[in-house]
Amino acid sequence: MNLTTEQVEQFHTSIYLSPEFEHFSYNFDYVTVIVIISFVCLVPTVYATVKMVLFRQPHRSSIDIHPYVFKSFLCMQVSKVILSILDLIIIRIPQTTILTSYYRTLKNDSPLRFFTAACFSINNLSQLSTVLFCLIRLMVFKNNRERPDTYRCVFWIWSITSIIFCAVIYIIHFSYSVACMTLHSPFQYGAILVTSNLYESIICRCASQYTSYCMLIRPIFQDSRVNIVSCYFYCTHPYFKKKNTVTNSLNVTPRSNT
C-alpha cells in the first residue's frame, strides 16, 4: 500500500486528530491471520486451565503436587490466560484495522477505558503471580520439613498485597482517558494501538521505527509461554492422569480336609 507524506506523518499519533479514520475501510492482511491463529491456539489453553482449576483428587499419593505450589501455579496461569484474552481483544484485534472506524467515533472517556485499565492491571498481577509461584516453589524445595503455616502465610499475604497493588494500578489507568494511536510498518495503515493517556506521551517520545516490529513479535512469545506451560503441564503430569480404582475384597474361606 503506497502511503502519502501526510499519512506517514500520522504514525504514532491519535486517531481522534484525523477525521479520515471515521470512514476507514478494513483491509485483510497477515496481521489478521496472526490474530486468528492466536485465538485458535488459546482455546486448548483455556480448556486445560479450566480443567486444572476444577480438578479434584480425593486420595493422596506419592505423585501429588504440593498444595501451595499447585495453588500458586494456578494463580499464575489463570492470570496469564485472562491477560491473553484481554490482550487479544484490546491490543491485537485493533491492530487488524477492523475496529479503526468504530473507535474513531468513540469518545476518550468511553467504556473502553474499563477494559484498557483492566489489561494493565492484570498484566501486573500475572507478573506478581509468577514471582509468587517461584518463591513458594523455592521454599518447598529448600525445606525438608513440611511447614504448611509458613506457606499459607506467604501465599495469602503476597496474593492480597498483589491484588491491592493491581487495584491501585487499575484506578490510576481508569482515571485517564483512552488513547488510540496509529502504528508504523509492518502494520498496515490504519492499524491502531489502544492504550491510556498515561502511556501515550511516553510512546510518542520513545517510539522508534522498530517499535511496531516489537509489538508484532511480542504476542508470539507471550502466547508460547502461556499455551505451552498450561497444555504441557496438564497433558503430561501424572497428577492429572490418576484414576480412582475400586478393588473388591474377596472373603476366601479355607477348605477343610475331610
* Contact partners, residue 225, CB within 8 Å, separation at least 6: 80
Compute the distance between CA of residue 249 and CA of residue 240 in angstroms, rounded to an integer. 27
Residue 234 forms part of a structural domain:
yes
**The model scores a pTM over 0.75:** yes
Residue 17 forms part of a structural domain:
yes
- Its domain, for residue 192, covers 7-240
> Greatest CA separation found in the chain?
111
Residue 220 forms part of a structural domain:
yes
Residue 255 forms part of a structural domain:
no
Residue 245 forms part of a structural domain:
no
CA proximity to 122, closest of 155, 89, 157: 89
Structural domains in the chain (count): 1
Residue 250 forms part of a structural domain:
no
Mean pLDDT check: name the lowest of 123-127, 156-160, 249-253: 249-253
CATH of residue 130's domain is 1.20.1070
Compute the distance between CA of residue 204 and CA of residue 200 in angstroms, rounded to an integer. 6
Compute the distance between CA of residue 133 and CA of residue 141 in angstroms, rounded to an integer. 12
Q: What is the pLDDT of residues 78-128, one digit of tens each?
A: 999 999 999 999 989 999 989 888 888 887 667 888 899 999 999 999 999
Q: What is the pLDDT of residues 127-142, one digit of tens each?
A: 999 999 999 988 888 8
Give me the half-sphere count of Cα atoms (radius 13 Å) on the Cβ side of residue 178. 25
Residue 258 forms part of a structural domain:
no
Give percent of the chain with pLDDT exceeding 90.
Answer: 31
Compute the distance between CA of residue 242 and CA of residue 221 in angstroms, rounded to an integer. 32
Q: For residues 214-251, b (16+ Cβ closer than 10 Å) or e, as one string? A: ebbeebeebbeebbebbbebbeeeebeeeeeeeeeeee
Beta bridge partners of 14: 181
Long-range contacts of 5-8 (CB under 8 A, 24+ apart): 7/189
* Contact partners, residue 187, CB within 8 Å, separation at least 6: 31, 95, 212, 216
Residue 103 forms part of a structural domain:
yes
